[in-house]
Amino acid sequence: MPDIAFLALSGLVIASAVFALEARELIYGAVGLGLSLIGIAGLFILLGAEYLAMFQIAVYVGAVVVLILFTIMLVERERGRIVEEEEPVRLGRAGIYVAGLVALAVAAAVILLAPVSPEAPEFYRAPLQELGRSMASSYSVALVILGLLIGATVVGGLTLVKIEQKEKTSGTAQ
Amino acid sequence: MQGLPAIQDIVNLAAKIITSRTFLEIVVFPGFLNVFVGAALLTWLERKVIARVQLRIGPLYAGMWGILQPIADGIKLLFKEMIFPELADAKLLMVCALGLMMIAAAPVVAIPFGDGLVIANMDVGLIYVFAAISLFPTLILLIGWGSNSKYSFIGGLRSLFQQVAYEIPMWLSVLGIVMLTGTLNLTDIVRAQEKLWFVVPQILGFVVFFAAVLAELERIPFDLPEAESELVMGWMTELTGAAFMVGFLAMYTKLYVMSALITALFLGGWSGPSILPQPVWFLLKTFLVATVIVIIRGAFPRVRVDILLRTGWTRLLILAFANVFVTAMLIWLGFGWFWRV
């Protein structure tokens, strides 16, 4: 049963990632990215990391993809359709195919060389409370530093906005 | 006659699956049928209650007190032609409308309608509900963009602004409950309220969460994304026929689900005197919460976008932090054992 789920989720991740790269319209690319990230969240659940999976959905799909969509919509002045019909760059294509071949080779090597155990080892499912305890004790410094980093980012963004506003008002005053 | 036993096996298996408790839970009771019937009933309830608030009668002719009105509406919308504007992305609209319905119904699997009556008893149930709900504005933005209409697009952008305003206070307002119970599992959270509902010790969190839910559901006073007097119907403007029905039903499904979440988090969930079974208590409380939300629609005007953002980031956020502080004080003073599971 997990095998079917794993195969389906992997298929979803790969197919939507390819779709995200190949989509002619940027919006579809962002949608494909979102689907791919949801599939990765599903893989996290299969690996026993539900907490991580939920935050993957909430942060990456719920916030980052929205940000990408928002940027695309604001940048594209001409509504909707991308008009430019460029010839696809041949060299870039070739690169993709080579990368795919290398990935296949690596996967084949892993599958052929890795010791195949008949019973897969049980994943260690950390209880949520244990996770929280370790985050609040042994990883607390890292957590605080991350918080400071994000706080600094927010303050930096606010400062940028303030500077722009000041320039705008002084420009109109003159 | 070789094939017959195989068919018999399949029939037996199908019968076994259909009569199994898991199947019934997924499809019938806490599951999808319940959600759709609940959402359809809420459309009727809203029309009836709003009518009473405005001294009208409301739906009357279809069935007793017009209770069959949702079915009539559904049939009407199903048979309507689907019209999409020129250059609109019809495929994207359809997919996103269906996605709205799926995402609106998804949180139900984590909400316990009775002790043990939950489809997926997850350790991260609370975060799961929030994560599923946080996908909503993305799809609304896509619908707004795909409609190729200024009203839809403004509605979609407003939905995004709204998410910025309400989401962080919403996550923070339930932190107090998590601190008191020490779990994110919704069943355990309801069990912890057997002695005292969380609406009492977490009254600040309840107020913040309720306001955030109102913004989340795009209900008056925070119905900016579909402000009828400004944006026709907001992001739903260009949805027609069945696509409109699905989008509309998704909003009511979300109303149902969020009412159930408020019930489970703050109002003791299924707990109540044992004259009625647990799920009945749960549904009663859920519909009560939904009725209050509907009455608020009849009583309040709409706020402006900037006021909503300011309220979210200055008032609600500070109240949520105050709630966390008060809860930490409660635990520090030694009252924490009372709710711990």
Task: List, for residues A74-94, the tens digit of each pLDDT value.
Answer: 776 555 444 455 555 566 777
Nearest to B265, CA basis, from B72, B93, B107, B149: B107
Lookup result for tokens 């009252």: B335
- Give the type of residue at B140: I
**Which residues, 6+ apart, have CB-to-CB distance to A41 below 8 Å?**
A53, A54, A56, A57, A60, A61
Chain B residue numbers touching A34 (CB-CB < 8 A): 138
B132 touches chain A (CB under 8 A): yes
Domain that holds residue B317: 20-338
Q: For the stretch A136-158, what's the b/e string if a residue is b when 16 or more beta carbons lie within 10 angstroms of its beta carbon?
A: eeeeeeeeeeeeeeeeeeeeeee
In chain A, what is the greatest distance between 2 CA atoms, to the nearest angstrom? 78
pTM across the whole model: 0.82
Task: List, for residues A97-125, the tens digit of each pLDDT value.
Answer: 888 888 888 888 877 776 655 555 565 66
Question: What ipTM was predicted for this assembly?
Answer: 0.78
Chain B residue numbers touching A16 (CB-CB < 8 A): none
Taking CA A10 as the corner, what is the angle to CA A7 and CA A12, rounded to the nearest 5 degrees?
110
pLDDT computed for residue A128 by the predictor = 77
- Give CA–CA dist B211/B230, Å, rounded: 22
pLDDT computed for residue B292 by the predictor = 92
Please check whether residue B170 is in contact with residue B212, taking contact to mean a CB–CB distance below 8 angstroms: yes
| Total of domains in chain B | 1
Nearest to B285, CA basis, from B302, B303, B269, B301: B269
H-type alpha helices, A23-89? 26-46, 50-55, 65-75
Band the pLDDT of B142: cuts 50, 70, 90: confident
B90 touches chain A (CB under 8 A): no
| Residue numbers of A between 72 and 91 with CB closer than 8 Å to B | 73, 79-81
Beta strand extents in B89-239 (DSSP E only): none
Task: Count residue pairs from A and B with Cβ separation < 8 A.
Answer: 63
Q: Which of B123, B135, B145 sits opposite A50 (nearest CB)?
A: B123
Contact B87 A81 (CB under 8 A): yes
Chain B residue numbers touching A69 (CB-CB < 8 A): 138, 141-142, 145
Cβ neighbourhood burial of B68 (10 Å; 0-12, 13-18, 19+): middle
- Give CA–CA dist B152/B146, Å, rounded: 9
| Domain boundaries of chain A, sorted by first residue | 1-78+86-125, 126-174
- Give CA–CA dist B142/B165, Å, rounded: 19
Which of B133, B142, B179, B187 should be substituted to probe chain A, the one whose Cβ sees the most A Cβ atoms within 10 Å? B142
Tokens representing B238? 């260009």
pLDDT computed for residue A91 by the predictor = 67
Q: With both helix axes pointing from N to C terminus, report the angle between B32-53 and B69-78 in degrees, rounded to the nearest 10.
A: 110
Taking CA B179 as the corner, what is the angle to CA B178 and CA B183, rounded to the nearest 5 degrees?
45
Cβ neighbourhood burial of B198 (10 Å; 0-12, 13-18, 19+): buried
Lookup result for tokens 């009849």: B298
| Residue numbers of A between 114 and 133 with CB closer than 8 Å to B | 127-129
Q: Which of A69, A73, A128 sits opposite B123 (nearest CB)?
A: A128
Please check whether residue B255 is in contact with residue B213, taking contact to mean a CB–CB distance below 8 angstroms: no
- Give the type of residue at B31: G
Q: Which CATH architecture has domain A1-78+86-125?
A: Up-down Bundle (1.20)
Taking CA B8 as the corner, what is the angle to CA B6 and CA B12, rounded to the nearest 5 degrees?
115
Please check whether residue B316 is in contact with residue B166, taking contact to mean a CB–CB distance below 8 angstroms: yes
Q: Which residue of B has its CA nearest to A65?
A: B138
Judge whether B10 lies within some domain.
no
B122 touches chain A (CB under 8 A): yes
- Angular region, B63: left φ>0, alpha ψ -120 to 50, beta rest: left
Which of A33, A59, A128, A154 should be substituted to probe chain B, the one whose Cβ sees the most B Cβ atoms within 10 Å? A128
Q: How many helices (H) and strands (E) does chain A have?
A: 7, 0
| Residue numbers of A between 25 and 54 with CB closer than 8 Å to B | 27, 31, 34, 50-51, 54
Nearest to B225, CA basis, from B201, B247, B208, B253: B247
| Residue numbers of B between 11 and 40 with CB closer than 8 Å to A | none
Task: List, for residues B280-312, the tens digit of each pLDDT value.
Answer: 888 899 999 999 999 998 888 888 888 888 888
- Give the type of residue at A169: T
Per-residue model confidence as pLDDT tens for chain A (174 residues): 567 888 888 889 999 988 888 877 788 888 899 899 999 998 888 887 888 888 888 888 888 888 888 888 877 655 544 445 555 556 677 788 888 888 888 888 877 776 655 555 565 666 777 888 888 888 888 889 999 999 999 888 888 888 877 776 665 554
Chain B residue numbers touching A65 (CB-CB < 8 A): 138
Contact B131 A80 (CB under 8 A): no
Judge whether B3 lies within some domain.
no
Task: List, for residues B7-51, the tens digit of each pLDDT value.
Answer: 888 888 888 877 777 777 777 778 788 888 888 889 999 988 988
Judge whether B14 lies within some domain.
no
Which of A35, A65, A73 should be substituted to probe chain B, the one whose Cβ sees the most B Cβ atoms within 10 Å? A73
Q: Which of B89, B123, B131 sits opposite A57 (nearest CB)?
A: B131
A135 touches chain B (CB under 8 A): no
Which of B138, B174, B179, B341 should be substituted to probe chain A, the one whose Cβ sees the most A Cβ atoms within 10 Å? B138
B183 touches chain A (CB under 8 A): yes
Lookup result for tokens 């069990």: B191
